[in-house]
Amino acid sequence: MHTSPLDQPGTGDAGGMNVYIVETAKRLADLGVEVEIFTRQTSRDLPPIVQLVPGVSVRHVTAGPYEELDRSDLPGQMCAFLSGVLRTEAIYEPGRYDVIHSHYWLSGQVGWLAKERWGVPLVHTMHTMAKVKNLLLAEGDRPEPPARVFGEEQVVDVADRLVANTAAEAEELISLYAAPPARVSVVNPGVNLQVFQPASKGAARHRLGLSQDAHVLLFVGRIQPLKAPDVLLRAAAKMIADDPSLRDRLVVACVGGPSGNGLARPSLLTDVAAELGLTDLVHLAPPCPQPELADWYRAADVTVVPSHNESFGLVALESQACGTPVVAASVGGLRTAVEDGVSGLLVDSHDPAEWATALSGLLDRPAWRGFLAEGAIRHAAAFGWQATAGRLVEVYTGAMSQLLPVAAAR
């Protein structure tokens, strides 16, 4: 409801969830599952229906003004969004949809009512959870409101199946939201191994205008407190303080745009770079399509993911698939996305000094970096979107078969 799979990930509210929905929908279509994605219309110029690929349609639902709304304003549009979803189904013969898969709690609320109306199972993926985010807030970040917590608890209560990205997320659903374990299924997200694959680092740097002998540290993601890009900049400042000769070769590249609470200070990285005296070393780039993003990963020596929380961490997986090791915060799904000491390193704090130590160690030891790069490729190869879609089909059919006896009794 709050973001479209057609939007460019990396800015606004578009991120890993957008990638997840697009990639799983395509792979579900490959398996013969017809997919219709309902999303809120954000421009009057958008057509009512867009075919993403054969077998996957995106339906634009009019709900509120034709512009991007802050997520705090979206609950007021849930009735309008639900009305558009129900009207679409009503023009067809009964039984058009076999299962509803909602993503994020706002869509889960809409899915709850549609499930009751259509008599089909509801499968829900949280992607992020308010209770988890509030336990791991960045300094100065706003906690998620009680209304979201209540909304998530309601969705957990009514969903026929809950899809968790990792075993750790499954435990959070059970311990923090009292989700019945039998209704929780773990389905790891994947990576597009056709796009994100190893290729020449030198050629990628040439295309991006980066020096061939530079030490390139890369951040990819939305610029907001949750993602903690400032930790990378502060770590870079510490690295230079410890080794002033590094200034001549270090490049800190950040690919993404302001989002969420980060919109309150869109100049955050520019301001922090100036404060630390790193303006000449920090390279800011806007979000970009996947083929160009793959070049950024290949061009980097290390990809840095210092988030305070991640339900999985697709950026880490994409980087590893390109052969670039990752240094990530030891939180949430990043513990699954990165194999510590094999495909990258996990850091237990957000202290810039600890990040500086980890990053300097990799830059100073090319052989170790090469070892982790090889491990990164092997680790990422186990996470293809085809496997994700196959597991989702199992979840869908399980939920449908469990509902059949109930429907027969009626």
Q: How high does pLDDT run on average in the chain?
A: 92
pLDDT, tens digit, 9 for 90 and up, residues 368-387: 999 999 999 999 999 999 99
Which residues does the annotation place in the binding site? 2, 8-9, 13-18, 71, 104, 128, 148, 222, 227, 297-298, 300, 310, 318, 324
pLDDT, tens digit, 9 for 90 and up, residues 25-77: 999 999 999 999 999 988 888 899 999 999 999 999 998 887 777 777 888 88
- With 60 as the cut, is the pLDDT of residue 257 above it? yes
Which residues does the annotation place in the binding site for UDP-N-acetyl-alpha-D-glucosamine? 8-9, 16, 222, 227, 310, 318
Higher pLDDT, residue 17 or 2? 17
Per CATH, 16-190+386-403 and 201-383 having the same topology is answered yes
Per-residue pLDDT at 96: 94
Per-residue pLDDT at 131: 95
Domain spans of the chain? 16-190+386-403, 201-383
The length of the chain is 410
Q: What CATH number is given for 16-190+386-403 in this structure? A: 3.40.50.2000
Which residues does the annotation place in the binding site for 1D-myo-inositol 3-phosphate? 2, 13-18, 71, 104, 128, 148
Per-residue pLDDT at 390: 97
Which residues does the annotation place in the binding site for Mg(2+)? 297-298, 300, 324
Higher pLDDT, residue 281 or 3? 281
Task: Tell me how far apart the alpha carbons of residues 225 and 231 are, in angstroms, rounded to a whole number.
Answer: 10
Contacts with 65 (C-beta within 8 Å, 6 or more apart), sequence order: none
User: Does residue 306 contact residue 228 with C-beta atoms inside 8 Å?
Assistant: yes
Beta-strand pair 49-53/56-61: antiparallel
- With 60 as the cut, is the pLDDT of residue 226 above it? yes
Per-residue pLDDT at 10: 58
Per-residue pLDDT at 16: 77
Per-residue pLDDT at 189: 94
pLDDT, tens digit, 9 for 90 and up, residues 105-151: 999 999 999 999 999 999 999 998 999 989 887 777 788 899 999 99
Per-residue pLDDT at 262: 53
Higher pLDDT, residue 136 or 295? 295
User: Stretch 223-243: mean pLDDT, rounded?
Assistant: 94
What pTM was estimated for this model as a whole?
A: 0.87
User: Stretch 337-349: mean pLDDT, rounded?
Assistant: 97
pLDDT above 90 coverage of the chain, percent: 78
- With 80 as the cut, is the pLDDT of residue 169 above it? yes
Task: Tell me how far apart the alpha carbons of residues 220 and 201 are, in angstroms, rounded to a whole number.
Answer: 17
Per-residue pLDDT at 42: 84
Contacts with 384 (C-beta within 8 Å, 6 or more apart), sequence order: 190, 191, 193
Q: Which of 202, 401, 408, 220 is nearest to 328 (CA)?
A: 220
- With 90 as the cut, is the pLDDT of residue 407 above it? no
- With 80 as the cut, is the pLDDT of residue 288 above it? yes
Beta-strand pair 100-103/122-125: parallel
Q: Judge: domain 201-383, CATH 3.30.410.10.
A: no
